[in-house]
Structure 1
Amino acid sequence: MTIEWTRAPYELLLPLWRQWLAEDTQQTGHWPLLDRWLKRQVPQLKLHTPGRSVRGKNNPPGISIQLAISAAMFAAMRYLQLAALLEHSYRAQSPAFDAVGWDSTWSPADTHHIPPAALWYWIALRSTPDASAPEVLRDAVARKAWFLRMQPLFTASPDSQDAALMLWHGLRPGWASLLQARAQASEWSTRDLEQFIALQNQAPPLWLRPQGNMAVSELAQLLRDEGVAVRLDHDGLCALGGTGIVQTTPYKNGWVEIQDRASQAIAASVAASPGDKVWDACAGAGGKSLAIAARMNNKGMLLATDLHSYKLEELKRRAKRAGVYNIRTFEWQGREALRLPAEAARQQGFDWVLVDAPCTSAGTWRRNPDARWRFHAADTAELLDLQKTILDSASQAVRRGGQLVYATCSWQVSENEAQVAGFLTAHPDFTLQSSTLVGAPEWDADTMFVAVLKRCA
């Protein structure tokens, strides 16, 4: 579902943007997580016509103005750097620019120096060339002319690694080498890479997973009966609008879970059987734990651990709703070997261990575009050390002949193939069974990595 956010009124967007800028009190470009911030701010907006909807050719009936405003804020995050460059060139009245040089000095904090009305008009023009301008923007005609003059300079090159074209698609030119490494590792064609880059400008649909033994087609019909617009896609199910999933009977009864298709693929790589002993080492709120447990039919044991207890509490609630009773939870810091539960100790380790490691989350930028501006080499280096530590610690709990699954929600080679290669060098008693990137560009989903390793018997 594509929401025409440009129908959201500027009289609501401009004050909201000023509130967003105010969150960065030190003007460093460090804002809170946008999705969480919007959940607090958008419901409080005073609409001139309560309950009015945004209607357009791409919008189903009933799309609220609040959703359009949220979509607008996400669009602003996607094109933040592009808008800054357009503003800079417009003020200088110079169409010439060095995209790589610009990127090396640009910071999200620079957004503070762009008048909100001007920034929003650049964002609107990038999304819809015939978009209207804020009434307070007196030079809108000149700005639109400038945009039309600049656009060919961004899009003229057919090379997806061209710095200007990357800016046009909301990606920093400095990431070109990282994307090229990914393309080589995954043996992407030029078209695959172009598709991946283009998808970064679009939010993926809300993917759903049937919980229990219910067929996908049956679940789809139940959701349609309650007003949810759903689509079946190669045995996958996604929601496109209408009634909210959490309001439906299938959700309340635990028959369906919200889980991205790529995440479902990671859970499916843990091919546990009823009676197995499984450890989800970095379980979070338990989406993958529940998917794995669904195939175990409440037989055997699934241990779910995480650094944060509040996430495990959410997992307990979700497991109860889904009728899953073979999950045990407790906190684990990740920096030491796990003390094996009695069930696993009797067989000297788990049959399956899943390490869904903390990562840069680059593969979720489509859903969380603001995260791309928090993506830095220093943070990546710190995460690489943490991933290695957790993987080393967790691997000690795999029994002889058991399997270790390593996953991230990142497309970076350094966090994935390179991390696995380093682990195998240090642990010759493990062998690689499979390694793949799942999700975009092959599917309209997040992008994640998963590798399955087996410990020698």
Structure 2
Amino acid sequence: MRFTPALFHHSKTLLSEVLRFDFPADRLVSDYFRQHRELGHADRGFVAETVFTVLRRKRSLSARCAGELTSRRLLLATLACLQGMNRRELDVVLTEAERHWLAHAKAVQIRELPAAERLDLPDWLYELLVAQFAADEIEPLAAGLNQPAPLDLRVNSLKAGRAEVLERLRADGLPAEPCPYSPLGIRLAGKPALSKHPLFIDGSIEVQDEGSQLLGFLLQPRRGEMVADFCAGAGGKTLLLGALMRSQGRLYAFDVSDQRLARLKPRLARSGLSNVHPVRIDSERDIKIKRLAGKLDRVLVDAPCSGLGTLRRNPDLKWRQTPESVAELSVKQAAILAAAASLVKKGGRLVYATCSLLEAENEAVVQAFLTQHPEFAVRSAQEILGKQEISIDCGERLRLLPHRHGTDAFYAATMERQ
């Protein structure tokens, strides 16, 4: 791929849209590529990678911009200082003033910046992480969050085994390895396009982060049980739960969004599952929920959250979320957890999970729930996973972190109704 003024223009136009933070970055990138079908696969890869690099490193890049914080300067600083493009390559887009400025930008000593700037975190998030994690863990954690995520797949155990899928992917020239923890996980190097691969088309594989897969093994649904995925979204975890149930029993996929449940339908058709029942609900207080009170064996609550554990994939979230939005979410999370718990029968299991790093969305929500619902007791995540031959050092409550486990950051508490 040759760097051209046209490619720079596409990157700058898209970055300007993304930096308004009106909509999620991945959605804006997809929309832009749909509108500009003339961009080839390599061009799209360059534009997307450059824009996401700016989002990941925006604070330290800003220090290089000498007070002129424009999309153009952020982009040039990224290309020159982070992506290693030399002056000769960039000359096709540089003005004389920019040539002079870039020499200074490259000389900025990032290690001398204040910690939050150096680690590319907003001040409020940096302060919360410092309060939660050991001092020697902050830098590796921030570095892990600032790395692009690998592509993880989940093998659909109804249709294939992991060994045969690995063999097929490697035969097709895709460097694939088993994930270290999930028995169904496969990790790919790079970002190959999989939507036209026969294994994807026939439902043998789905894209799903390894951390997300482990939530299904924590819930551990069995054949013939009544189970609910309380905040199903587009159904990644629903499909895993259905496969673990061998498509037997009844699995409800609840969500408040018709749009999200519509995205589940083609995935469900590919999966070969026949036990999934997608149900749109108005809220956690919907009459459809009340009718099932005390009847379900297992309920998974992957609660709506800040998403700050997914910064490897969604780096815009650290600039879009605020302390106020996190406080609002924790109120909503408490209400959703209490409603989901009402479905669980005696002896049944409830898993509360988020892809957030923050105690306000995790421990605080669970502790308040346990205080109000003494009939629920916490079970050890490490023990539950260990009995399924998943060896992971995660403690009583599952805490996954990118620099320790190579996954998105997840939290999960497993509770059983006494």
**Normalised-by-shorter TM-score class:** 0.7 to 0.9
Give 1:115 deviation, angstroms: 4.2
What is the CA–CA distance in structure 1 between the aligned matches of 2:236 and 2:265, rounded to whole Å?
11
Match for residue 132 of structure 2?
Answer: 182
Match for residue 361 of structure 2 among 415, 418, 440: 415
- Using a 3 Å threshold, how does the CA distance of structure 1 residues 382 and 429 change in structure 2: closer, same or farther? same
Secondary structure of 2:350's counterpart equals strand
Match for residue 123 of structure 1?
Answer: 78
Match for residue 28 of structure 2 among 15, 18, 37: 37
Q: Which moved more, 1:34-43 or 1:236-245?
A: 236-245
What is the CA–CA distance in structure 2 between the aligned matches of 1:199 and 1:13, rounded to whole Å?
28
Question: What code does the residue aligned with 1:437 have?
Answer: R
- Using a 3 Å threshold, how does the CA distance of structure 1 residues 15 and 296 change in structure 2: closer, same or farther? closer
Give 1:67 deviation, angstroms: 0.7
What is the CA–CA distance in structure 1 between the aligned matches of 2:17 and 2:253, rounded to whole Å?
39
Spell out, residue by residue over 1:16-44, the C-alpha distance to the aligned partner (whole angstroms, 9 max, x if none).
Answer: 423543577xxxx3332221211222355
Match for residue 104 of structure 2?
Answer: 146
Give 1:341 deviation, angstroms: 9.1
Secondary structure of 1:139's counterpart equals helix
Match for residue 14 of structure 1?
Answer: 9
Spell out, residue by residue over 1:265-308, the C-alpha distance to the aligned partner (whole angstroms, 9 max, x if none).
Answer: 11211111111110111001111011111111121111110001
TM-score norm. by structure 2 comes to 0.86
Contact 2:10 2:47 in 1 (8 A): no
Q: Which moved more, 1:385-394 or 1:130-139?
A: 130-139
- Using a 3 Å threshold, how does the CA distance of structure 1 residues 289 and 65 change in structure 2: closer, same or farther? same
Match for residue 116 of structure 2?
Answer: 166
Secondary structure of 1:146's counterpart equals helix
Contact 1:350 1:402 in 2 (8 A): yes
Match for residue 273 of structure 2?
Answer: 324
Match for residue 73 of structure 1 among 14, 31, 51: 51
What is the CA–CA distance in structure 2 between the aligned matches of 1:369 and 1:37, rounded to whole Å?
13
Match for residue 196 of structure 2 among 247, 250, 274: 247
Match for residue 263 of structure 1?
Answer: 212
What is the CA–CA distance in structure 2 between the aligned matches of 1:181 and 1:392, rounded to whole Å?
28
Matched, 1:205 2:150: yes
Cα RMSD, aligned residues only: 2.6
TM-score norm. by structure 1 comes to 0.79
Question: What code does the residue aligned with 1:334 have?
Answer: S
Match for residue 364 of structure 1?
Answer: 310
What is the CA–CA distance in structure 2 between the aligned matches of 1:352 and 1:9, rounded to whole Å?
55
Give 1:430 deviation, angstroms: 0.8
Secondary structure of 1:388's counterpart equals helix
Secondary structure of 2:26's counterpart equals helix
Contact 1:12 1:45 in 2 (8 A): no
Give 1:416 deviation, angstroms: 0.4
Contact 2:12 2:72 in 1 (8 A): no
Match for residue 392 of structure 1?
Answer: 338
Secondary structure of 2:316's counterpart equals helix
Contact 1:338 1:394 in 2 (8 A): no
Match for residue 228 of structure 1?
Answer: 174
Match for residue 60 of structure 1?
Answer: none
Give 1:240 deviation, angstroms: 2.2
Secondary structure of 2:189's counterpart equals strand
Identity %: 28
Match for residue 279 of structure 1?
Answer: 228
Give 1:413 deviation, angstroms: 0.9
- Using a 3 Å threshold, how does the CA distance of structure 1 residues 20 and 149 change in structure 2: closer, same or farther? closer
Unaligned runs of 5+ in 1: 52-62, 92-112, 157-162
Match for residue 324 of structure 2 among 378, 392, 411: 378
What is the CA–CA distance in structure 1 between the aligned matches of 2:163 and 2:262, rounded to whole Å?
31
Give 1:423 deviation, angstroms: 0.6
What is the CA–CA distance in structure 2 between the aligned matches of 1:341 and 1:326, rounded to whole Å?
21
Give 1:338 deviation, angstroms: 5.5
Secondary structure of 2:108's counterpart equals helix
Secondary structure of 2:405's counterpart equals coil
Give 1:165 deviation, angstroms: 3.5
Q: Which moved more, 1:372-381 or 1:439-448?
A: 439-448
Contact 1:284 1:308 in 2 (8 A): yes
- Using a 3 Å threshold, how does the CA distance of structure 1 residues 361 and 368 change in structure 2: closer, same or farther? same
Match for residue 94 of structure 2?
Answer: 136
Spell out, residue by residue over 1:84-112, the C-alpha distance to the aligned partner (whole angstroms, 9 max, x if none).
Answer: 3332xx35xxxxxxxxxxxxxxxxxxxxx
What is the CA–CA distance in structure 1 between the aligned matches of 2:125 and 2:149, rounded to whole Å?
22
